[in-house]
Structure 1
Amino acid sequence: MTDDVCVLLPTYDEAATVADVVSDFRRHGFEDVLVIDGGSTDETRTLASEAGARVEIQSGTGKGQAVREAVAEHVDAPYVLMADADGTYEAADAEAMLDPLRDGTAEHVIGDRFANMHEDAMTGLNRVGNTVFNSLFGLIHGASYGDILSGYRAFTVESFRRLRLTADGFGIETEMAVECARHGVRTTVVPITYLPRPDGSDTNLHPFKDGGIILMAIYRQAKTSNPLFYFGSAGGVSGLAGTALAAYVAYDWFANGISHNVLAIVAGVGVILGVQLLIFGVLSDLLVTLHAETLDRVERLEAEASPERRSSGSEGQQRADPPEQ
């Protein structure tokens, strides 16, 4: 059954591949294919429509904004299957992605590209970057999702609405992974096939620029999910820099009799700032832990109270119903 799924394809200048991608999903039984376009200057929208997709033009720019707008305004189905329109993902993997949602074992599914990645599908630089980002994500957020940058996702609309997403560009996948870990969204990883981009299809990804955006997204999100790492890492850098500078000042003073008053002040400020940030990180981590424990207690109380409310409501209804004559 595929009428409970909306296939979501964010696009920007994907004329070389979009028709084949739409047709592939439709051949696998997905009738509701939504292409949300970011203002393509080629024939992307025309070709997508001719292939059988619903086409909408996003009001803003960037993949992240397109995904948020599509789910909020154009999706009626309970499940969303999100993929790129560049021909690197296969519709044949769709059912495996959707199964965990339908059987209730997951609310968010990530397709692991590294499970079956074709040799030329990713450059060596991109492989290294993905490995670094996945390792850093696991270190900071305490969850292992295998491939947080994968563009092949399946999720329930209800779980998506629980995520606080603000990224406009390619950082959306990273932000979704972070928010899933933070809000306890049940997430699973499914192996998929990852193909090279077809000839004539140009990537919209800029490795260094977008890599920097992704790195900052992972680090920035640590502020509320792992504040000890967020503030502690900054404090560690400041403290180490201050200590190194202080060691240089001390060496030059004792060895050569040269004083560096200004550098000594800077070194002292660096060390003090580092200690303060580390202390702030410890306190923030304590607050986050207490907040999480409080939310857990509230959720347990609500869960325990719900059956009692339903029970008392039924009893009240029975008392209110007049006896039959």
Structure 2
Amino acid sequence: MVSQKIAILIPCYNEALTIGKVVADFKMHLPYAEIYVYDNNSKDETVAIAKKSGAIVKHEKKQGKANVIFKMFREIDADLYIMIDGDDTYPVDCIKQMVDQFTENNCDMLVGDRLSNKSYKNENKRAFHNFGNNLVRALINVFFGSDLKDILSGYRIFSRKFVKNYSSSIKGFELETDLSIYALHYGLTIEEYSIHYRDRPEGSESKLNTFTDGFKVIKLFFNLVRLYKPLLFFGTVALLLFTLGLIFMVVPIREYFEYQYVYKVPTLIFSIMLIIVSLLSFATGLILDNISIIDAKNFKVRYNNTL
């Protein structure tokens, strides 16, 4: 494990209260790793404290956690990457066990699972966060045929191949959802390690907005279903439109058989339009599904050839 070049990635925005402890914990439990703190326009003493603690400090001006992580992935060269928040909510004392599991099982991504025990439910004081976590987890597991316990954890380990091949257009806290669905779509090896989550210390404020960020995550999920499972997405739309078309067509058909004449011509035209659009939607799904299959095959070639 020591022979691997390990990089600790800590994106930060106003984490002066906790960043020093997070860096110190990694220096204690993983002394041979390089610790990177990328500041995202903090207004407090985050940068000064991180430097004093011995971290390599850099900056990302584009606001948003995803923007920071993308820059880290692009600039930092390592064999193994550990992503963690700077708010001291994730335990560092188990990091050696996490790295061992990741290395021994040749994972592409290992997720720090907060939800398999009661620590997150007991510690997290933010309303609706437990509900949001369960909803997103259920949606992804159903649509992608997985059995992941924690979709939104910000504590993850990545392989070099994962980091150098990952790409996305998101900007903020939807990052964890995108990482999970990306790995599931391309058939990468994902494992989880149960951790004990703790809430932020008093005086430390979360940057998450329960409803705004929750809506963004749900919106991202359906956009990714459209992107990664186009036949399912457009096929569902086609089925709904086709069903509506048949329902609207009942009245004109009944009129024709009863009076040998259609009085509600606009209804007939509307129903035919719905059926035509449904067929176009289904055809679109078929075409995009073939493109998605080809993309997945090309991705595997690129991924396996990454040094």
Query: Shorter chain as normaliser: what TM range?
Result: 0.7 to 0.9
Q: Aligned equivalents of 1:249 and 1:207: distance in 2?
A: 48
Match 1:187 to one of 186, 190, 209: 190
Report 1:194-273 matches (<5 A).
Answer: 194-239=197-242, 265-273=269-277
**3-state DSSP of counterpart to 1:155:** strand
Report 1:129-168 matches (<5 A).
Answer: 129-168=132-171
Q: Aligned equivalents of 1:90 and 1:142: distance in 2?
A: 29
Gapped regions of structure 2 (runs ≥ 5): none
Q: Aligned equivalents of 1:224 and 1:95: distance in 2?
A: 36
Q: Indicate the residue corresponding to 2:15 in structure 1.
A: 14
Q: Indicate the residue corresponding to 1:280 in structure 2.
A: 284
Judge conservation of contact 1:82–1:151 (CA < 8 Å) in 2.
yes
Q: How many residues align?
A: 296
Question: Cα distance 1:117–1:166, how it changes in 2: closer, same or farther (>3 A)?
Answer: farther
Q: Partner amino acid for 2:108?
A: E
**3-state DSSP of counterpart to 1:10:** strand
Q: Relative CO higher for 1 or 2, CA cutoff 8 Å, sep ≥ 6?
A: 2
Scaled by the length of structure 1, the TM-score of the pair is: 0.78
Q: Indicate the residue corresponding to 2:69 in structure 1.
A: 67
Judge conservation of contact 2:41–2:61 (CA < 8 Å) in 1.
no
Q: Partner amino acid for 2:112?
A: G
Q: Is the counterpart of residue 27 in structure 1 residue 28 in structure 2?
A: yes
**3-state DSSP of counterpart to 1:92:** coil
Q: CA deviation at 1:268?
A: 4.1
Q: Aligned equivalents of 2:26 and 2:295: distance in 1?
A: 43
Question: Cα distance 1:20–1:266, how it changes in 2: closer, same or farther (>3 A)?
Answer: farther
Q: Aligned equivalents of 1:241 and 1:273: distance in 2?
A: 11
**Could you report, residue by residue, the CA deviation over 1:210-253 in whole angstroms, capped at 9, with x for unpaired residues?**
112212222222234211222123334444555666679999xx
Judge conservation of contact 1:116–1:194 (CA < 8 Å) in 2.
no
Question: Cα distance 1:88–1:260, how it changes in 2: closer, same or farther (>3 A)?
Answer: farther
Judge conservation of contact 2:123–2:197 (CA < 8 Å) in 1.
no
Q: Indicate the residue corresponding to 2:85 in structure 1.
A: 84
Q: CA deviation at 1:208?
A: 1.7
Question: Cα distance 1:125–1:248, how it changes in 2: closer, same or farther (>3 A)?
Answer: farther
**3-state DSSP of counterpart to 2:117:** strand
Judge conservation of contact 2:231–2:289 (CA < 8 Å) in 1.
yes
Q: Partner amino acid for 1:84?
A: D
Q: Aligned equivalents of 1:294 and 1:47: distance in 2?
A: 44
Q: CA deviation at 1:42?
A: 1.3
**Could you report, residue by residue, the CA deviation over 1:53-108 in whole angstroms, capped at 9, with x for unpaired residues?**
211111422111101111211x2321111111112101012122212332252121
Q: CA deviation at 1:202?
A: 0.9
Question: Cα distance 1:86–1:267, how it changes in 2: closer, same or farther (>3 A)?
Answer: farther
Q: Aligned equivalents of 1:125 and 1:249: distance in 2?
A: 48
Question: Cα distance 1:49–1:294, how it changes in 2: closer, same or farther (>3 A)?
Answer: closer
Match 1:170 to one of 169, 173, 193: 173
Question: Cα distance 1:289–1:165, how it changes in 2: closer, same or farther (>3 A)?
Answer: closer
Question: Cα distance 1:242–1:35, how it changes in 2: closer, same or farther (>3 A)?
Answer: farther
Q: CA deviation at 1:185?
A: 2.1
Mean Cα displacement is larger for which, 50-59 or 97-106? 97-106
Q: Aligned equivalents of 1:265 and 1:138: distance in 2?
A: 40
Q: Aligned equivalents of 1:165 and 1:218: distance in 2?
A: 13
Judge conservation of contact 2:127–2:210 (CA < 8 Å) in 1.
no
Q: Aligned equivalents of 2:210 and 2:279: distance in 1?
A: 35
**3-state DSSP of counterpart to 2:14:** coil
Aligned-residue RMSD, C-alpha: 3.2
Judge conservation of contact 2:30–2:96 (CA < 8 Å) in 1.
no
Based on CA coordinates, which of the two structures has the bigger radius of gyration?
1
**Could you report, residue by residue, the CA deviation over 1:143-195 in whole angstroms, capped at 9, with x for unpaired residues?**
33321211000011222112222221111111111221222322211111111
Q: Partner amino acid for 2:38?
A: I
Q: Partner amino acid for 1:43?
A: E
Q: CA deviation at 1:130?
A: 1.3
Q: Aligned equivalents of 2:265 and 2:128: distance in 1?
A: 44
Judge conservation of contact 2:65–2:175 (CA < 8 Å) in 1.
yes
Gapped regions of structure 1 (runs ≥ 5): 304-325
